[in-house]
Structure 1
Amino acid sequence: MYMIVKHTHLTIIALTFIFFIINFVLTMKGSDKVNNKLLKIGPHILYTLFIFTFIYLVAVNPLKLYPFVNGWASSKLGGFVLYVLSITFALKWAKSNLWRIVGLISAIFWFVMSARLGFADHLKVKGISEDTNAYIELGQSMLTAIC
């Protein structure tokens, strides 16, 4: 059951990213299709399912990784919150295309950081302070690779 929920969780993450990119392109074009009912409520449904699968995975995870107890899990949760805020900025709060692009870059950054952290198995078993330093180092290496 754990693996089914885990793969569902990962699929939901991919779908939220796809919805974001579609909405972003339509917003940049100024299309009326951005008001499509599926594009409006779809992401909210996916975020809700994401939260439910996240809660399940945290409750039954074999490594006992809990947010606010383990730095890895807290970083993952923080990355998700910043990802959603970046999406909201890009699609709703930004008034110019330049700021929308900044929101897009920010959302992609937090998406990649959270995904990279998800695959960093060596970070999952370290202490909180070690996780924080490793996460900062990971961020610096990602920025170096991008620039």
Structure 2
Amino acid sequence: MYTIVKHTHLTIILLTFVFFLISFVLTMKKSDAANNKVLKIGPHILYTLFILTAAYMVVVNPLNLYPFVNGWASSKLGGFVLYVLSVTFALKWAKSNLWRFFGLISAIFWLVMSARLAYADRLKLKGAPEDANAYVDFVQQMTAAIC
């Protein structure tokens, strides 16, 4: 079940970024299609699903990676918040195309930084039970085998 939720989580991330890029291009062109109901409501639904899948993975994960308790999880949460703020800045708050482009670059930056953090090599926890560190080793080996 965890694997299904994780892949759903990753798919949701991709979809939110695709929605953002489509909305960004339409906003830059000053197209009326930027006000399409699907482009306005879709990202909110995806963000809700993103948060639900993330919460599930945090609760089920044997490493106890809770936000505000573990620096890794707090950094992931902060990256998500900054990504959403960058998207909002690019699509709503920015009044010129230069600032919208700055919002695009900022959103891409925070998305990439969060992705890099998700695949961090040094996720082992000091003082964690041996089975938790064995789990980290297993996940890293599986990721290396797939990639």
- TM-score normalised according to structure 1 size: 0.83
Deviation of the 1:64 alpha carbon: 1.4
Once residues 45 and 37 of structure 1 are traced to their aligned partners in structure 2, the CA distance between those partners, rounded to angstroms, is 12
CA distance in 1, matches of 2:100, 2:121: 33
Partner of 1:12: 12
The residue number in structure 2 matching 1:102 is: 102
Partner of 1:85: 85
DSSP 3-state at the match of 2:95: coil
Alignment gaps of 5+ in structure 1: 128-147
1:36-64 deviation digits (Å, cap 9, x = unpaired): 11111000000000011111111111221
Equivalent residue, structure 1, for 2:48: 48
Q: Which residue does 2:70 correspond to in 1?
A: 70
Secondary structure of 1:17 counterpart: helix
Would you identify which runs of 4 or more consecutive aligned residues in structure 1 move more than 3 Å? none
Residue in 1 that maps onto 2:28: 28
User: d(CA) in 2 for partners of 1:16 and 1:106?
Assistant: 15
Deviation of 1:126 after TM superposition, in Å, equals 4.2
The equivalent residue for 2:138 is none
Q: How many residues align?
A: 126
Whose Rg is larger? 2
1:120 aligned partner = 120
* Alpha-carbon separation, structure 1, partners of 2:59 and 2:104: 32
Structure 1, residues 71-116: CA drift from partner, whole Å, max 9, x if none? 0010000000000000000000000000000100000000000001
Counterpart in the other structure of 1:142 = none
CA–CA separation in structure 2 for the residues paired with 1:8 and 1:121: 23
- Are residue 3 (structure 1) and residue 32 (structure 2) matched? no
For 1:83 and 1:69, the matched residues in 2 are separated by: 21
What is the distance in 2 between the residues matched to 1:73 and 1:121?
Answer: 14
Secondary structure of the 2:34 match is helix
Cα displacement (A) at 1:9: 0.4
Query: How large is the Cα RMSD of the aligned pairs?
Result: 0.9
Tell me, in whole angstroms, the C-alpha distance in 1 between the residues paired with 2:97 and 2:36.
21
- Partners of 2:56 and 2:28 in 1: how far apart? 36
